[in-house]
Structure 1
């Protein structure tokens, strides 16, 4: 997830795009840009790389377990004689 430092850097870049005639407003603009960026990112429901990696591992284990259970069910079904025969 984007950290506070990253947000500050983006806000600083945005302020650098403001015309020099508005130099007095740079401090306020930087604070406003930073707050708007932080608020927008909070609404994106992002996860950290660590959380993503943990969920990837959980999914891999779950898939392996499902495949094993499917194999066992297929073996059991193969061993059951058809009804009424």
Structure 2
């Protein structure tokens, strides 16, 4: 997800496009641009890099566990002899 610093930079760029005659409004515009950009990013339902990395680790552990269990089931199935009753 775009970080707070990135949003601030984009807001500053937008403010720099405002005509110099509206210099008094720059602070308010920057805050408004920042809020609008942050709100827009939240609506995209993005995750932070940290959240993504945590879920990647969880997935890796889950895959390893599934592989272990599949191997164990295969060994157990191989050890069971079919009954011919």
**Is the TM-score greater than 0.5?**
yes
Normalised to the residue count of structure 2, the TM-score between the two structures is 0.72
Give the deviation of 1:66 after TM superposition. 0.5
Give the deviation of 1:52 after TM superposition. 1.8
Partner residue of 2:52?
52
RMSD over aligned Cα atoms: 2.5
Partner residue of 2:26?
26
Give the deviation of 1:83 after TM superposition. 3.4
Provide the rounded CA distance (Å) in 1 between the counterparts of 2:67 and 2:5. 44
Deviates more, 1:54-63 or 1:16-25: 16-25
Provide the rounded CA distance (Å) in 2 between the counterparts of 1:50 and 1:27. 31
Provide the rounded CA distance (Å) in 2 between the counterparts of 1:42 and 1:11. 16
Counting matched residue pairs gives 85
Give the deviation of 1:14 after TM superposition. 2.1
Give the deviation of 1:75 after TM superposition. 1.0
Note the residue ranges of structure 2 that are not aligned, 5 or more in a row.
none
Give the deviation of 1:76 after TM superposition. 1.0
